[in-house]
Amino acid sequence: MSAELISGKDLATNIKKDLAVEVEELKKQGVTPHLTVVLVGHDPASESYVKGKEKACAETGMGSNVIRLDETISEDELIQTVDKLNKDDAVHGILVQLPLPDHIDEQKIIDLIDPEKDVDGFHPVNIGRLVTEQEGMVSCTPLGIMEMLDSKNIEIQGKNAVVVGASNIVGKPVAQLLLNRGATITNCHIYTEDLKAHTKMADILVVAVGKAHLITADHVKEGAAVIDVGINRLEDGSMTGDVDFENVKEKASYISPVPGGVGPMTITILLKNTIIACKRQENVE
Ligand code: GUN
């Protein structure tokens, strides 16, 4: 058996087309969704992510700008920048690119972003809303994973979902989203003693660890749906996931590739979140 591919790339392209239509409709009502990204310093990976976000906003007709701040900026100056954006009615979404320099308390900055403009879904109020199943902003990669599962009508309710990785950005929120949809969840992490014993039970397996080929065919139940969030650079410069794709695809029923899987979905959901935030703030449909 060879698994069916879940292409995040193709799905993202389709969703972006729909978002562009939605943006056009909003513009007719005099509203343009606007995302502001705050970038502190010149981390090459962050620069590249931010460029991707700007490009995607432009493609869908949304407004965006990047506030670039020197890495020597004080915490107070960054606080003032975020405060200004919170008060700016023309800004619907605020994203402070992480990581921040060591002298700035990241959580303090996240806590300061207006939860209604927190398109990353990182604010504790939004995390609380996710846990209590209230309307809020949900972080982009986990939502993207859910859309990938839904694009193939993969059953979630009553199924065993195993998430490997317990980060605040991916592992914990995706486990919560799966729980909210009625899955029985297991969240594995670095202290999990027998990883394989857990992953072999998974009907849905989400891996977000950052360790190349951690998950082999031995870890996977026949017919499972496998979502690989890992992005790892090999010595030859190529990119690979946390899942041994070539072998696991022979056992799984669905599998997402790296590259072209979860990655392209994250930015697309950021655009979607900005549009949702815009509609709520402007009281338009
Ligand atoms: N750095 C890497 N990924 C992300 C993300 O999703 N959001 C923010 N704010 N920073 C990041």
Amino acid at residue number 282: E
The Cα–Cα gap between 58 and 77 comes to: 28
Q: How far is the CA of 140 from the centre of ligand 1 (A)?
A: 9
> Which whole number is the average pLDDT over 223-236?
96
Q: Is 97 in the pocket of ligand 1 (CB under 6 A)?
A: yes
114 catalytic? Reply is: no
Probe target for ligand 1 pocket from 112, 120, 140, with the most ligand atoms within 8 Å of CB: 120
Probe target for ligand 1 pocket from 36, 37, 39, 49, with the most ligand atoms within 8 Å of CB: 49
Q: Are 145 and 12 a contacting pair, CB within 8 Å?
A: no
Report the sign of the C-alpha dihedral through residues 221, 142, 231, 148, in that order: positive
Domain segments of the chain as ranges: 30-114, 140-263
Distance of CA 271 to the CA centre of its chain: 11
> Which whole number is the average pLDDT over 210-228?
98
Question: Is residue 137 predicted with pLDDT exceeding 80?
Answer: yes
What is the number of the ligand 1 atom nearest to the C-alpha of 141? 6
User: In CATH, which of 2.40.128.20, 1.10.150.120, 2.40.40.20, 3.40.50.10860 is domain 30-114?
Assistant: 3.40.50.10860
C-beta neighbour count of 18 within 10 angstroms: 12
Q: Is 270 in the pocket of ligand 1 (CB under 6 A)?
A: no
What is the number of the ligand 1 atom nearest to the C-alpha of 98? 10
Nearest CA to ligand 1 atom 2: 98
How far the first Cα of the chain sits from its last, in Å, is: 45
Q: Are 51 and 62 a contacting pair, CB within 8 Å?
A: no
Q: How far is the CA of 97 from the centre of ligand 1 (A)?
A: 5
53 catalytic? Reply is: yes
Q: What share of the chain is helix, strand, coil (3-state, %, to 5)?
A: 45, 15, 40
Q: How far is the CA of 98 from the centre of ligand 1 (A)?
A: 5
For domain 140-263, the CATH superfamily is NAD(P)-binding Rossmann-like Domain (3.40.50.720)
| Segment holding 49, helix H or strand E | helix 44-59
| Segment holding 97, helix H or strand E | none
Please identify which of the residues 16, 97, 118, 272 carries the catalytic annotation. 97
Domains 30-114 and 140-263 share a fold: yes
Which pLDDT band holds residue 285 (cuts at 50, 70, 90)? confident
The Cα–Cα gap between 191 and 261 comes to: 27
Please identify which of the residues 16, 118, 120, 242 carries the catalytic annotation. 120
Q: What is the radius of gyration, based on Cα positions, of the chain?
A: 19
Q: And the tokens for 118?
A: 């927190």
Q: How far is the CA of 201 from the centre of ligand 1 (A)?
A: 31
Q: What is the pLDDT of residue 205?
A: 99
- pLDDT tens per residue across span 266-282: 999 999 999 999 999 99
Among residues 36, 166, 31, 169, the alpha carbon closest in space to that of 98 is found at 169
Q: What is the mean pLDDT of the chain?
A: 97
- pLDDT tens per residue across span 79-99: 999 999 999 999 999 999 999
Q: Is the pTM of this model over 0.95?
A: yes
> Which whole number is the average pLDDT over 222-246?
96
Among residues 183, 157, 164, 182, the alpha carbon closest in space to that of 227 is found at 164
Q: How far is the CA of 141 from the centre of ligand 1 (A)?
A: 10
The packing angle between helices 140-151 and 8-28, to 10°, is: 110
Amino acid at residue number 25: E
Q: Are 184 and 157 a contacting pair, CB within 8 Å?
A: no
H helical segments located in 189-261: 195-199, 245-248
- pLDDT tens per residue across span 153-194: 999 999 999 999 999 999 999 999 999 999 999 999 999 999
Q: What is the pLDDT of residue 1?
A: 64
Question: Is residue 45 predicted with pLDDT exceeding 70?
Answer: yes
C-beta neighbour count of 240 within 10 angstroms: 18
* Measured CA distances, 225 to 108, 164, 167, 256 (Å): 37, 14, 21, 9
Among residues 166, 157, 77, 113, the alpha carbon closest in space to that of 273 is found at 113
